[in-house]
Amino acid sequence: MKKFVQPCLIAAAIFSLLQGPAQAQTKIATVDQRKVFDSYYKTKHADTTLKEEATALEKEAKDMYEAYKKRESEWKKLLDMANDQAISAAEREKSKQNAEKKLLELQQNEQAIRAFERSAREKMDEKQRIKRDAILGEIHDVVQAKAKAAGYNLVIDSSASAVIYAGNENDLTQSVLSQLNAAAPALAKPEESKKESK
C-alpha cells in the first residue's frame, strides 16, 4: 500500500505544479538519494563506528556467556556431589544447598544476559536511526539549497520507485555528492580517487 501511495502523491504534486499559472515555468530536477547516502563519507564513517561498537557489545555478551557456562559447570559438580553416596550425608546436604544457590545465580545470570542483549540491540538500533536521520538531514539541506539556487520547483528522488523516467540533464546527484564529500578526510574521498585513476 505504501509503495502505491508514494508514487500517487508524487504524481499529484507534479500535476499540481504543472497546472499552475501558464507564465510560471515548472523546473524539475532529480537526485539519486540512495547513491548520495551510500557514497557520502559520513555514512561510511558511521557504518564503521557502529560496527566497532557492535563488535565490542558482542564481545561483552560472549564474556558474560562464558562466565555463565563456568557457573553452570560448577553447579553440575555440586549436583554430582549432592548425589554421591561415597561422601557423608552432611557433605551431600551441604553440596545440595550450594547447588540450589548456584542455580539461583545461574537463573539471574541468564536473565542478565538476555536483558543485556535486548538492551544492546535497542541501543544499536537507536544509534543507527539517529545517525541515519542526521545524514539524511544534511543531504536534504544540500539538495534544497542547490534546488533553490538553480530555481527548481521540485526535486524527485530517482532511487525511489516513483519515477518512471528521469533524464540526466537536471540530475543533482553528483553535485550534491561533491559538496557533501568536500570536507571528507583525504583517505575517505572515493569519488575523486576513481576520477583521478581514469
SS3 70: helix
From the centroid of its chain, how far is CA 113?
23
Domain extents in the chain: 17-197
* List of residues 6+ apart from 177 with CB closer than 8 A: 35, 36, 39, 40, 191
Stretches where the chain sits below pLDDT 70 are: 1-24, 161-169, 187-198
Residue 8's pLDDT is 43
Residue 129's pLDDT is 97
Q: Tell me: the pLDDT tens digits for 88-104?
A: 999 989 999 999 999 99
Residue 159's pLDDT is 86
Q: Which residue has the cell 544540500?
A: 142
From the centroid of its chain, how far is CA 162?
24
From the centroid of its chain, how far is CA 131?
8
Nearest one of 29, 26, 68 to 170, comparing CA atoms: 29
Residue 27's pLDDT is 86
Q: Tell me: the pLDDT tens digits for 43-72?
A: 999 999 999 999 999 999 999 999 999 999
**CB 173 within 8 Å of CB 35:** yes
